Structure 1
Amino acid sequence: MKYLLILSLFFSFLISVKSQNTDSLPINYFRSPLGIPLYLAGNFGELRSNHFHSGLDMKTQGREGFNIYAAADGYVSRVKISPWGYGNTIYIDHPNGYTTVYAHLQTYKGNIAEQIKKYQYSIESWEIDWYPPDTLMKVKKGDIIALSGNSGGSGGPHLHFEIRETKTEHPINPLLCGFDIKDDIKPTLKRIAVYPINDTSYVNNKNLMQKFDVVGSNGNYQLKYNSPINVYGQIGIGIETIDKLNDVSNQNGIYSIQLSNNNEIIYKSEMKKFSFDESRALNSLIDYETYLRSKTRFQKSFIEDNNPLSIYTTHKNKGILTVSNATNNLLDYLIIDSYGNRSSLQFTINGLKPTSISPKLKSKIDTVFSYEDENIFDKQNIIMEIPKNALYKNLEFEYQIKDTLRGAITPVYNLHNDYTPLHDYITVSIKPGRISEELRSKAVIVNIDRNGRLYSRGGEWRNNYLTAKSKVFGGYTIMIDSIPPTIKPYNIFANKNMSKNSSIIISIADNLSGIKSYRGEIDGKWVLMDFESKKSHLTHVFDNLLAGNHTFKLTVTDDVGNTSITEIPFTR
């Protein structure tokens, strides 16, 4: 009987393990996409501008041209080529239910390169987002699929590599999948911030966020001035922390942040995976205003009412503490990286109600918007629509009209300020005075940020309002773009013999509304031209062009239809 009981328990254990493995990550299934030692410039979940980093940035020794290998058997399920973002990208679906992504590539190789070029010529477009048939480009583990590069929005040569769930397209943390990357360094803790949550909350007698420096090393940290922090009312805590890996100087993201109060966990987050739909809510995780003002990212260990992030695994009262008079709270941070290295910080907060309070100066509030509702702000000549769930919390909205800028045809309408993040697009509609049909066709809505920089948001006419979408608050006005794009030949001029050149390079730019399209032709036939956004260069690499006289023609059009054309005769 005892034997049968042991056997039964053993099989129960096997069933349990099998069940766990069904939902486990693909450990040691994928090979490295590079043939050189792996060092990271960026890791999964790292905090970036308006998004979490969704993969690993693998260093390529500061140069381009390393072989990129298929991480496992599969087929090319998507090819995206863009001057922005990921640049030249390959997506490979694998039979285990995961997709690997290879971005910022220089060039494609073999059959993949041939099929991509054929497709580009068939639709006469260099920029593509193509989902080819699953039988067209099959690959085996270790096949060379491309060369590493610096395309798209890359800040330097490297490979951006991702692992995604094929069905959901959610990126997962590749560092949990067994790649040979050395890390025995414990996370670094820099500072904490303590926030009053409402008008009746105080930190050291002030209704303002307060920062506190942290000192320590090798996983053990304490406040620089190791004395209790006096608080009262509802408060939240935030932390500035980074991780480092062996043999590189880059500052990377943290895997897990846990905050306990008197030994009870009140907040915990983990970076196993996330959804791209929620990634912009990073701006709710961090202290967004402090980041814009100082480029310092405090990760809040409390959750705003409409924060949709799925990284939160545990919380009590959304991580918000309610502290009354004469109470003591022992706070304990536990910070963990993807390899289990740990750092901790303990500090004390005391409940102390202020005896004297300085009145806080507040701006004029025009209205209060609820994150749960669709909100419409309608004043003379300006309408703003905020969709439901675009705000992370209720907003005390402020509004101003400012003077007309040079080159604008309306005043600047200050719709709150760009220190408040948005999760979704708002719609801005502006009604100018009477203008001609010609000017109407060249009008764009322009957003002015806190530093006075101008960003065209485009626009279309609805009745007498010009309407555009935007993901930021701030200043808005209407400007006229009547200037066509500029075209500057870089290595070609009229009647030049191009036999010693492998390509044609042209620089293009636009002053306001932005370049919408371009078309290059040689002798009346469309030719492939890569657009390098960082240099604003168009490049056509000669391919089987016969010797003789030829004419290169380039047509560039901006977002409101202004067009420039250049024709250059050359020989080759």
Structure 2
Amino acid sequence: MKLSKLSCALLFLGLITIPYLQAQEVDKDYFINPINPGTRNYLAGNFAELRPNHFHTGLDFKTGGQEGASILAAADGWVHRIKISSFGYGNVIYLKHPNGMITLYGHLRNFNKELSDYMRKKMYDAKAIDLEIYPEPGELPVKQGQKIADSGNTGGSGGPHLHFEIRDSLDRAMDPLLFGFSDIVDRTAPVPQSIAIVPLNIDSRVNGKFARLEVSPVASGSNYRLPSEVKITGKVGIEIRSYDQLDGASNRNGFPTFELTEDTVTVLNLTVDKVDFNFTRQFLQHTYQNRYTKLYYQKNLKFDFINPKSEDAGHLALEPGVKKEYKLKLIDAYGNTRQISFTLQGQDMETNVNDGVAPSKASLNYINNILKIKAPISPKGGLAKFEVGSNSFEMLPAYQDANSRTYLWDMEFGIPEKIDICTEILLPGINALIPAGKETSYSEQNLQMNFSRETVLDNFFLRVSQTGPATSPKLIVNSSQEYLWNAVNILWKVPAYSGNKERSHAYYTSGNSKSFLGGTWTGDTLNFNTRSLGEISILQDTKKPTIQVIRVNSSDMRFVIRDDLSGIDTYEAYVNGKWILMRYEYKQAVIWSEKLENQPFKGEVLLKVTDKAGNTAEWKGTIG
């Protein structure tokens, strides 16, 4: 059955208004503000804000740079989950409510007395330094407005604040600002910083070139527009770098909604109002380098943000000579709106294109499945020869000017081992195609890489090399700008390695930064997993952690513990052979005792601190 244009328009209107309908159905009086309700509050971060590798999934309430603000239950309910950890959310409480929703309160300094006593007893019973408990429903009830904790700076917090989330019954994070909170004031519209127009396939061009074009919008009244029209060939997509601010706050936040229109007809709506934690790492594909939001459909991306539900959503294409006016609206949770206008014009594919400064030598760039080669003009001619297996393919430049020539090769067609561009021979260094959705293994001398069905989100072109001396070997896998959805398993045989294997592990290395990946040895082979791409090294850590006493007395034990490479793994303290709970704040490198009973410490003290490489340091003393 064919749908009329009016029917299609009504259907699409229904689709794009779904997020707003959901917002209207929310009971805005159900939750109170968890901190200083009824007085004006300020946010350091909000929902859908872009973070280095994830969406921010809640609100960060400012606490004046101090710890100790009273944290209140946002609604009646019970403690559904409670955790003490040195990392992540730190000390965190999850409350479940009769409406099926969950609220989360993170980076807490302390729980209230009832919850503190409850967790301390559980930790002593388990002899655990970190612990997560799921109490029985109704075991720990709370009333709306009841104090449940003090605000803090625990876990991965960058400063004192309260991290607050609202989740649905399926544990998906929702935008808390949909639920009211009128004591947060926002009358300020989002601000655009840059728009990118990007080619979406090998036949796409932006101003004649296969390259992303980033343009800074200029002010036009209270809105913005791009300073000049952009010519396009084939399908292109729009990306936006932008931010929002709340009244009375200088920090930059995110916002949920982007709406793109073509000559007044809405062609795309992207609203981030709910985040499924099962797919949160796909944020890295949803954005470009964690900075630009992609406003177009991407195959295999599991986020459900875009309407219409079409593989062509946001894929813009114009016939040669056709000119269209586009408007991109940026809409925050309070409805404040900013608009950017721009003009696109379709043009024929061109082969003579001004491509800027001539390169001194050929360069290779990998853009999704496209291999792009830019080389200086050669008097020997412009024909390039691509050798793929036993086959050879000749190709003219996709476009050129008086100084340079550009070739484009679709690696889905085959992976070239060698490319002759007349002036030089290029070796692309692509080892294998790793298909999405399939278990795949890649092997070469001394190396095996095992990819699960969920390691890569899209077809992945593996580039791997082994470098470095035998005493400190390195493995280079693609680049740090690329990412994996889930970990790849690597078996790396290094027969010439002479280090202490019990203390040698894989590390992700970037400049002076070294992050422990771990691994286990079987003979000369190190077996480890990683989601990080770039440089991986085998490093030896034989140095024990350091222990520095702050104070040790009958009331309190407090130490500074540090490790210079692999990092602190475990720590345990005993007084006269009795295990003592020690809490850890890694940002200050401090551990401190927490008694189960209010009895003075007395007798022989033993503290053991072990790093991730297995080195253990001990401190012994006596409390008289």
Q: Same fold (TM over 0.5)?
A: yes
Unaligned runs of 5+ in 1: 1-19, 292-296, 493-497
SS where residue 544 of structure 2 aligns?
coil
What corresponds to 1:169 in structure 2? Answer: 171
What corresponds to 1:220 in structure 2? Answer: 223
Instruction: Output the TM-score relative to the length of structure 1.
Output: 0.87
What corresponds to 1:528 in structure 2? Answer: 581
Over 3 Å counting, the alpha-carbon distance change for 1:217 and 1:157 in structure 2 is farther
What corresponds to 2:412 in structure 1? Answer: none
- 1:484 maps to which of 523, 544, 558: 544
What corresponds to 2:592 in structure 1? Answer: 539
CA distance in 2, matches of 1:322, 1:22: 33
What corresponds to 2:181 in structure 1? Answer: 179
**What are the within-5 Å matches in structure 2 for residues 68-467 of structure 1?**
68-165=71-168, 167-180=169-182, 181-216=184-219, 219-223=222-226, 226-288=227-289, 291=290, 297-314=291-308, 316=310, 317-352=312-347, 353-356=349-352, 357-358=399-400, 359-360=405-406, 363-404=428-469, 409=471, 411-433=473-495, 439-449=500-510, 451=511, 453-461=513-521, 464-467=524-527
Over 3 Å counting, the alpha-carbon distance change for 1:319 and 1:388 in structure 2 is farther
SS where residue 320 of structure 2 aligns?
coil
Amino acid aligned to 1:325: P
CA distance in 2, matches of 1:377, 1:443: 24
- 1:474 maps to which of 499, 510, 534: 534
CA distance in 2, matches of 1:547, 1:422: 51
What corresponds to 1:9 in structure 2? Answer: none
SS where residue 283 of structure 1 aligns?
helix
1:138-179 deviation digits (Å, cap 9, x = unpaired) = 1111111111111111111110111111x3111111100011
Amino acid aligned to 2:305: I
SS where residue 279 of structure 1 aligns?
helix
What corresponds to 1:43 in structure 2? Answer: 46
CA distance in 2, matches of 1:310, 1:94: 26
Aligned residues: 530
Over 3 Å counting, the alpha-carbon distance change for 1:81 and 1:548 in structure 2 is closer
What corresponds to 2:417 in structure 1? Answer: none
Over 3 Å counting, the alpha-carbon distance change for 1:530 and 1:509 in structure 2 is same
Instruction: Output the TM-score relative to the length of structure 2.
Output: 0.80
Over 3 Å counting, the alpha-carbon distance change for 1:262 and 1:115 in structure 2 is same
1:160-203 deviation digits (Å, cap 9, x = unpaired) = 111111x3111111100011211111111111011122333222
CA distance in 2, matches of 1:372, 1:324: 35
- The answer (yes or no) to whether the contact 1:520–1:555 under 8 Å persists in 2 is yes
What corresponds to 1:560 in structure 2? Answer: 613
1:516-557 deviation digits (Å, cap 9, x = unpaired) = 211012222111211001111111256766568533211112
Which of 477-486 and 26-35 deviates more?
477-486
**Is 2:515 the counterpart of 1:512?**
no
SS where residue 111 of structure 1 aligns?
helix
Which of 192-201 and 353-362 deviates more?
353-362
- The answer (yes or no) to whether the contact 2:40–2:185 under 8 Å persists in 1 is no
SS where residue 322 of structure 1 aligns?
coil
Which of 557-566 and 258-267 deviates more?
258-267
SS where residue 260 of structure 2 aligns?
strand
CA distance in 2, matches of 1:523, 1:78: 34
SS where residue 500 of structure 2 aligns?
helix
CA distance in 2, matches of 1:545, 1:112: 17
Over 3 Å counting, the alpha-carbon distance change for 1:548 and 1:301 in structure 2 is closer
- The answer (yes or no) to whether the contact 2:23–2:178 under 8 Å persists in 1 is no
1:97-154 deviation digits (Å, cap 9, x = unpaired) = 1111111111111311211111111111231111122233111111111111111111
Amino acid aligned to 1:554: L
CA distance in 2, matches of 1:452, 1:330: 48
Amino acid aligned to 1:29: Y
The Cα of 1:434 is off from its aligned counterpart by 6.0
Amino acid aligned to 1:446: Y
CA distance in 1, matches of 2:429, 2:492: 23
- The answer (yes or no) to whether the contact 2:232–2:317 under 8 Å persists in 1 is no
- The answer (yes or no) to whether the contact 2:317–2:346 under 8 Å persists in 1 is no
Over 3 Å counting, the alpha-carbon distance change for 1:452 and 1:201 in structure 2 is farther
- The answer (yes or no) to whether the contact 1:430–1:477 under 8 Å persists in 2 is no
1:224-262 deviation digits (Å, cap 9, x = unpaired) = xx2211222222110111111111112111111122233
Unaligned runs of 5+ in 2: 1-20, 353-398, 408-425
CA distance in 2, matches of 1:219, 1:434: 65
CA distance in 2, matches of 1:195, 1:285: 14
Over 3 Å counting, the alpha-carbon distance change for 1:330 and 1:55 in structure 2 is same
Over 3 Å counting, the alpha-carbon distance change for 1:281 and 1:217 in structure 2 is farther
The Cα of 1:483 is off from its aligned counterpart by 2.1
The Cα of 1:453 is off from its aligned counterpart by 2.7
CA distance in 2, matches of 1:21, 1:410: 55
Over 3 Å counting, the alpha-carbon distance change for 1:218 and 1:87 in structure 2 is farther
CA distance in 2, matches of 1:72, 1:337: 25
Which of 473-482 and 543-552 deviates more?
543-552
Identity across matched positions, percent: 32
Amino acid aligned to 1:503: D
Amino acid aligned to 2:406: K
SS where residue 566 of structure 2 aligns?
coil
- The answer (yes or no) to whether the contact 1:430–1:478 under 8 Å persists in 2 is no
The Cα of 1:94 is off from its aligned counterpart by 0.9
| RMSD, matched Cα | 2.4
1:55-99 deviation digits (Å, cap 9, x = unpaired) = 110111111111111111111111111111100001111111111
Amino acid aligned to 2:591: L
- The answer (yes or no) to whether the contact 1:266–1:315 under 8 Å persists in 2 is no
- The answer (yes or no) to whether the contact 1:219–1:342 under 8 Å persists in 2 is no
CA distance in 1, matches of 2:463, 2:264: 41
Which of 91-100 and 553-562 deviates more?
553-562
Over 3 Å counting, the alpha-carbon distance change for 1:322 and 1:21 in structure 2 is closer
Amino acid aligned to 1:468: F
CA distance in 2, matches of 1:329, 1:89: 51
Amino acid aligned to 2:35: L
CA distance in 2, matches of 1:44, 1:507: 35
Amino acid aligned to 1:354: E
CA distance in 2, matches of 1:29, 1:229: 48
CA distance in 2, matches of 1:23, 1:388: 39
CA distance in 1, matches of 2:47, 2:130: 27
1:342-398 deviation digits (Å, cap 9, x = unpaired) = 111111111233341233378443333322323322111122222224333323332
The Cα of 1:410 is off from its aligned counterpart by 5.4
